[in-house]
Amino acid sequence: MNAKPETLAAPLDVERIRADFPLLSRTVHGKPLIYFDNANTGQKPMSVIEAVDRHYREHNANVSRAVHLLGEEATAAYEGARDALARFINAPSRDEVVLTSGTTQSINLVAYSYAMPRMKPGDAILTTVMEHHANIVPWQLVAERTGATVKAAPIDQNGELILEKYIEMLTPDVKLACVTHVSNALGTVNPIREIARECRKRGIPLLVDGSQAAPHRAIDVQALGCDFYAITGHKMLAPTGTGALWAKREHLMAMPPFFGGGEMIREVRFDGTVFADPPHRFEAGTPNIAGFAGMSAAIAYLEGIGFDRLKTYEQDLLAYATAAMDEVPGLRIFGRAKEKEPVISFLIEGAHANDMATLLDLQGVAVRSGHHCAHPLMQFYGVPATLRASLAFYNTKAEVDGFIEAIARVRKLLL
C-alpha cells in the first residue's frame, strides 16, 4: 500500500515517498533511473494515477451537460479541482480561477483577451531576459498586431533580475508587466512582491508565470499582489493538459472570450450571444475532466507533505548537488542566484550539451539538454544550449552521487 503523505513524520522519509511514484523504480538501458528532469515534467504519485483511472472506470461523463448521476459526478470532480486550486494559491474567490491546459494557454488567454484589445502603437509590454518562450512569444504576437513593442529587463551574470532596471523600465508606455516567479533554466526566484508593489504604484497590471514555482513553494496570490498568475499542472505532479489562470475579478469581467463554443454561453442567437460569467466564459468545449481529477489529487499530495518540509529538503539537496558539481573539472554552472529553486544549468568544457545528455541517458540519468525554451537567456550567456539537472523532493543524495559518477564516466568518453 502506498504511504499517505499526510502521515509522514518530519523530516521527510524520502524512501517512503519514492514508493508512491511507480516510474522512479524503472531501469533504463539496464541502469536504475535517476530522474533529474523535473522542471520539464514531474513524476506522478499513485494517488494521481488512481484518480485518473477511477474517473474513467466509475465516473466518465461530460461536465455541466447532463442531469444524470455520472454527469453530476464528473462536474463535481471538475469543479472540485477549481476549489482545490483556489485554496492552493489562496485566491480570494474560486470564480477567479480559470481552468486551462497549462501556463501557455493561460498566458495566451491574457494576451488575446486582455492585452490585444487594449494595446495600441506606442504602448509597451515589459518582460525579462530570463523568460520562457511562453512569456515572450504571445506578447510579440500581440505587439505585431497592435503596433505595441516588447521590452526585456536585463539580468546579471548570476542569473538574477536587475530589479532597479526592471523598475526603471516601468515607464508610462508600459501597459502590462510580465515576469517569471522562478526561472525554468536557472532556478532563480524573482522578488514578485517588490515588483508587484512598484507596478501598483504606476497602475500597471502584472502577470506572473508560476509554472516553476508551484512545485516547490506555497503560492499566495493575495500576498504577492499580482494581477494574473499562471500555473501548469504537470510540473506539480498533476496530469499533462491541466493548469490554471488566476486573475483579479475586475480583469476577468472586462475580458471578452478567447475561445468560442459550448459551455461558455448563457444564450446563443444569430442576432447575438450572451456569454457566461467568468470563469466559465473562458472554458469553451469539453475540458480534461480526468486530468483535473488528477490535479485535485496532486494538490492533496503536496499539501499532505507540506511546503515547509518540502522546501527544507529540496534546498539541502540543491546545496549538496551544487557543491558536488563544483568539484567536477571543467564544469560551469549558469545561475548563482542567492535565492533559487533546485534547478542547475551547466556545461562541461569541451563537450556538447546534447552529446553529454545522450551519454548520461545511457548511464540511466535523465537530464534536459538544449535551450530550455529560453533562447534570449542562452544568447545572454553566449551559449547555444546547456544541460539542466532539475531536482524534486523525491530525489536523493545517493542519486546526486550517481549523477556525479555518471558525469565522470561520460567525461572520459568525450574528452
Q: Which residues are catalytic?
A: 373
Closest CA to 263 of 286, 241, 242, 246: 286
Number of CB atoms found within 10 A of residue 305's CB: 18
Which H, E and C letters describe 268-325, residue by residue?
EECCEEEECCCCHHHCCCCCCHHHHHHHHHHHHHHHHHCHHHHHHHHHHHHHHHHHHH
Dist. CA 203–CA 318, nearest whole Å: 38
User: Side chain identity at 137, as an amino acid letter?
Assistant: V
Strand, coil or helix: 365: strand
C-alpha cell at 95: 470564480
- Separation CA 87–CA 173 (nearest Å): 35
CB 138 within 8 A of CB 113: no
Beta-bridged to residue 98, according to DSSP, are: 245
**Strand 27-28 to 31-32 pairing:** antiparallel
**H or E element in which residue 126 lies:** strand 124-128
